[in-house]
Amino acid sequence: MTVAMIAVLLAQAPAGNYDEAKVPHYTLPAALGDVTTKADWPARRAAILEMFQREMYGRSGPRPKGVRFQMLETGSGALGGKAVRKQIRVDALIEVLLYLPSEAKGPVPVFLGLNYTGNQGVTLDPAVRVSTAWMRQPDNPRGGQASRWSIKRALDAGYGVATAYYGDLDPDFDDGFQNGIHPLFYRPGQTKPAADEWGSVGAWAWGLSRILDYLEQDKDVDAKRVAVLGHSRLGKAALWAGAQDERFGMVISNDSGAGGAALSKRIYGETVKDLNDRFPHWFAANFRKYNANECALPFDQHMLIALVAPRPVYVCSAQDDQWADPKGEFLSALHADPVYRLLAGDGLPVKEMPAIHQPAMGRVGYHIRAGKHDVTDYDWRQWIEFANRHWKPKK
Ligand code: GCU
């Protein structure tokens, strides 16, 4: 089989169940478990986190000591005068592109997410450095994914935007973990992650935390207000980053689907087996125990969202993205609500799935928009609105 043939196979999503009547009867563990007081939540949180580490995403490498940040380039008057641009190398590994509003009077909150095509793909700004790392596709022009990055809108609202290329951390294909960051953490003699150790989703999430390490020491950034976001497989990574690293002040999941916000036990659209068969490098090997065996999972994805509590979390779906199971994404947000209510007295303001373009925003937020699996300006407008509710930036 040629590489092109494999690419075509991967692009074709397997059939899957799209019939609500065929969703099996399933029981979700209560996110709170037996917890009835705030004081008892940290122990429950630690136990849930441990399950996700061991059984699904795998244990991540540690935060390295003495990480170096190198300012590669800065420019003012970028993006038609709206932005100050900074390009930073984090420990010879990750190249971060950061835009801050030119008008900022002090440290600003930042939206942070990884991108799929290199930093040059998110904007037409000719000064953005072109990624030379492994590429998912051969041609990644400047601005090729700009429609997914409403940077000017965020700047106008007083937010910064930071991004880095996910391939800087781990190329997105199964090579037995020879490339990317995993080998940097192998014990002597180790050649691949153990069954309870991280895959690529874990590596991407780890990278988001390393970028936050940088943002924490940039005096132009309000690092307690960094919203980690991601689309699709990078939405899975954003949720996992926000679940583990409590320094992230907000988490936004866009169309993250199976292995992200969507409940696994519904077996609607993409299943655990689909994930593990088609992307064997994404999760810990232990996760394969649940192939065609979702009922054995001791947790479900609502508990991942609950790990973000009490920090604001926002889940988005798209109507034509049934592969990602919009209803399962909504139900995760809904079933995380009791943890938010206990810790913050506020959660998801609705009990039924909202109609198209009717965002529900409390401390937990959710929307479903018309259209396909993608990130649109509509999504960004809601994220900004959601962030404004919690962190209205000074202008
Ligand atoms: C595939 C995969 C999804 C993933 C998506 C993406 O469709 O099955 O799990 O979210 O790719 O990353 O675009």
Q: What is the pLDDT of residues 245-285, one digit of tens each?
A: 999 999 999 999 999 999 999 999 999 999 999 999 999 99
- Peptide linkage before 310 cis (omega within 30 of 0): yes
Question: Is the CB of 257 inside a 6 Å radius of any atom of ligand 1?
Answer: yes
Question: Torsion angle, CA of 222/161/254/347, rounded to 10 degrees?
Answer: 20
Is the CB of 325 within 6 Å of ligand 1?
A: no
The answer to whether the CB of 139 falls within 8 A of the CB of 132 is no
Which atom of ligand 1 sits closest to the CA of residue 259? 9
- C-alpha angle with apex 47: 44 to 48, nearest 5 degrees? 90
How many helices and strands (H and E) does the chain possess?
A: 9, 10
| Residue ranges of the chain with per-residue pLDDT less than 70 | 1-14, 393-395
- Chain centroid to Cα 177, Å, comes to 21
- How far is it, in rounded angstroms, from Cα 198 to Cα 201? 7
The tokens describing 330, both together, are: 């909504």
- Can you give the C-alpha Rg of the chain in angstroms? 20
Q: Does the beta carbon of 230 lie inside 6 Å of ligand 1?
A: no
Q: Which residues neighbour 166 within 8 Å (Cβ) at sequence distance 6 or greater? A: 114, 115, 116, 172, 204, 207, 234, 237
Global pTM reads 0.96
SS3 187: coil
Position in ligand 1 atom list of the atom nearest CA 10: 1
Which atom of ligand 1 approaches the CA of 270 most closely? 8
Q: State the distance from the centre of ligand 1 to the C-alpha of 236, rounded, in angstroms.
A: 10
Ligand 1 atom with least separation from CA of 278: 8
Determine which helix (DSSP H) or strand (DSSP E) holds 223, and give its type and residue range. Answer: strand 221-231
Q: Is the CB of 114 under 6 A from ligand 1?
A: no
- The Cα 233–Cα 256 span in angstroms is 6
Q: List the structure tokens of 123.
A: 């904007």
Among protein residues, the one whose CA lies closest to atom 7 of ligand 1: 13
Q: Which of 232, 234, 372 to mutate to test the pocket of ligand 1 (most atoms within 8 A of CB)?
A: 232
Pocket lining: 258 vs ligand 1, CB cutoff 6 Å: yes
Residue 14: the pLDDT is: 67
- Residues 141-190 have pLDDT tens digits of 999 999 999 999 999 999 999 999 999 999 999 999 999 999 999 999 99
In short, whether 13's Cβ falls inside 6 Å of ligand 1 is yes
CA proximity to 258, closest of 351, 358, 373: 373
For ligand 1, what atom is nearest to the CA of residue 234? 12
For ligand 1, mutation pick of 231, 270, 277, 282 (most atoms within 8 Å of CB): 270
pLDDT for 137 equals 81
Distance (angstroms) between ligand 1 centre and the Cα of 267 equals: 16
pLDDT for 92 equals 84
Q: Which of 6, 172, 164 is nearest to 98 (CA)?
A: 164
Q: C-alpha distances in angstroms, 166 versus 81, 187, 201, 238?
A: 28, 24, 10, 12
Q: Which of 200, 282, 323 to mutate to test the pocket of ligand 1 (most atoms within 8 A of CB)?
A: 323
CA 360 to chain centre: 20
| Closest of 186, 205, 184, 202 to residue 194, by C-alpha | 186
Cα 273 to ligand 1 centroid, rounded to whole Å: 13
State both tokens at 227.
């919203």
Helix (H), strand (E) at residue 254: strand 250-254
Q: Which residues sit opposite 238 in a β-bridge?
A: none
Separation of 43 CA from ligand 1 center, angstroms? 33
Ligand 1 contact, 233 CB (< 6 A): yes
Distance 228 CA to ligand 1 centre (A): 19
User: Which positions are catalytic?
Assistant: 232, 373
Report the length, in residues, of the chain. 395
The residue contributing the CA closest to ligand 1 atom 12 is: 233
